[in-house]
Structure 1
């Protein structure tokens, strides 16, 4: 990748200054992070001769650029926090060159706002035992979703609330339940309103992974099998999965009201812990 002139940044309308400032902060943080990790990587660890004298520790910018197969100018702009377009493949090469840990790699791709093309396979790993224990220790209905909204863990309270649904299917998926299982329309109060919002939440949730095979399979199957999902998916609405009031019409216990709270897992960033607190 080569470039001769710095990219020009267009001035933003006053109403979008906050969004532009947020991007600028992320780019600056990304540049600071790359400089920091570059300084700790020894030339020997990447197959380069150590060199008799180096004014700064670690790798030089031109060495990182060479190993990452991009131009020195382009890499310099990245470290300077300039607004440049970098593909996921380039970020992955830089992560490998700089010997990033799993947490550091995740941080890099979070700042870059794109999906890691090389570490998607990690998402098929079993759920950490500690996270499963956490779910079962919660008295309120609780469950863990992965990025496709597959239910990876659930407690007994969640099983009872959903009238046994997660155990009735081989691979429970919350989206498929909501849009393809007739029982969901009876259980979820204001199902049409919730279904519309769920689609917008899912779109926001998987924005960086929309072309990954597992995510694409869920989307394509629902576009094929659920006219309601297809209608709202094509509307392009996006909202955060922010929780709030949830009501269920249980077949034996009547209407139950909850407050939904969602946490993202630090040890499995693709997973969310969802709790439904009475009230």
Structure 2
């Protein structure tokens, strides 16, 4: 597939702000007990703008949006923290400042690897912005041997491997959350080729493609979420695990994850 065709397909698959706004407005009506989507005129009035302004917003026009208007829009649509962040990313492209990497110099991860090792006997791992596993401790390799592969990727494994579907109880729910995380990451880093390639791979799976098309939710991470795992090589019983997701201050494009 030519690169330009692949990029076009990804652009069609990824919902724009207008699609998210329509989804959020429909859900807001449900949450407010209206039995129907919150009317466009009500959304516009509550943020102090004209109905035409909001109607154009849902059609794909992106006028200048200041933080005050965005805050009001988030309140009216009853957005959670991750959805608010996504709204700001689409509207302003704003992200906290992160020092760019020095070209040609690999990040020094020795201190983070030492911290991973200190989490024993709890599994712990480190991923980049595309969920490639770039560090892990011994317990992580014992629980999940797939991390030893040179191209190990958490999202790709979690969404496309038969092993993940067997080991993760309630896999469909986890799959939907993983896809929501990909959607958030692509809003945050729309030009990241690693994320684009990951999405292309994942959407080749019919079940994942259906899940992607069914929902437009966004999730920044799964910090504090409970996982129920079936790992007979670790324990004969189902394992209840909670993930803690940390962002290293010196490497804000990475995720440091501990499984408790």
TM-score of the two chains, using structure 1 as the length reference: 0.55
Q: Contact conserved, 2:243 with 2:257, CA < 8 A, in 1?
A: yes
Matched, 1:131 2:120: no
Q: 2:210 aligns with which of 225, 231, 250?
A: 231
Q: Contact conserved, 1:127 with 1:152, CA < 8 A, in 2?
A: no
Partner of 1:155: 137
Aligned CA distance change for structure 1 residues 14 and 161 (closer, same or farther; 3 Å):
closer
Unmatched runs of 5 consecutive residues or more in structure 1: 1-6, 20-84, 89-107
Aligned CA distance change for structure 1 residues 212 and 205 (closer, same or farther; 3 Å):
closer
Q: Contact conserved, 1:141 with 1:158, CA < 8 A, in 2?
A: yes
Partner of 1:245: 226
Unmatched runs of 5 consecutive residues or more in structure 2: 1-63, 77-90
Partner of 1:171: 151
For residues 190 and 210 of structure 2, what CA distance do their matches in structure 1 show?
A: 18
Q: Contact conserved, 2:128 with 2:134, CA < 8 A, in 1?
A: yes
CA deviation profile, 1:181-209 (whole Å, cap 9, x unmatched): 21111111111111111111222234221
Q: 1:110 aligns with which of 96, 112, 116?
A: 96
Q: Contact conserved, 1:189 with 1:248, CA < 8 A, in 2?
A: yes
For residues 137 and 201 of structure 2, what CA distance do their matches in structure 1 show?
A: 27
For residues 123 and 268 of structure 1, what CA distance do their matches in structure 2 show?
A: 16
Partner of 1:16: 73
RMSD between superposed Cα atoms in Å: 3.4
Aligned CA distance change for structure 1 residues 157 and 11 (closer, same or farther; 3 Å):
closer
CA deviation profile, 1:148-173 (whole Å, cap 9, x unmatched): 001111111111122x1111x22100
Larger radius of gyration: 1
Aligned CA distance change for structure 1 residues 10 and 183 (closer, same or farther; 3 Å):
closer
Aligned CA distance change for structure 1 residues 124 and 194 (closer, same or farther; 3 Å):
farther
For residues 8 and 171 of structure 1, what CA distance do their matches in structure 2 show?
A: 40
Q: Contact conserved, 1:123 with 1:270, CA < 8 A, in 2?
A: no
Larger RCO, structure (CA 8 Å, separation 6 or more): 2
Matched, 1:183 2:170: no
Aligned CA distance change for structure 1 residues 256 and 12 (closer, same or farther; 3 Å):
same
CA displacement at 1:210 relative to structure 2: 2.6
Aligned CA distance change for structure 1 residues 17 and 184 (closer, same or farther; 3 Å):
closer
Q: Contact conserved, 2:95 with 2:188, CA < 8 A, in 1?
A: no
Q: Residue 144 of structure 1 aligns to a residue in which SS?
A: strand
For residues 123 and 237 of structure 1, what CA distance do their matches in structure 2 show?
A: 36
Aligned CA distance change for structure 1 residues 213 and 120 (closer, same or farther; 3 Å):
farther
Q: Contact conserved, 1:178 with 1:185, CA < 8 A, in 2?
A: yes
For this pair of structures, how many residues does the alignment match?
A: 179
User: Which structure 1 residue ranges, 4+ long, deviate > 4 Å from structure 2?
Assistant: 7-15, 119-124
For residues 216 and 14 of structure 1, what CA distance do their matches in structure 2 show?
A: 29
Q: Residue 268 of structure 1 aligns to a residue in which SS?
A: coil
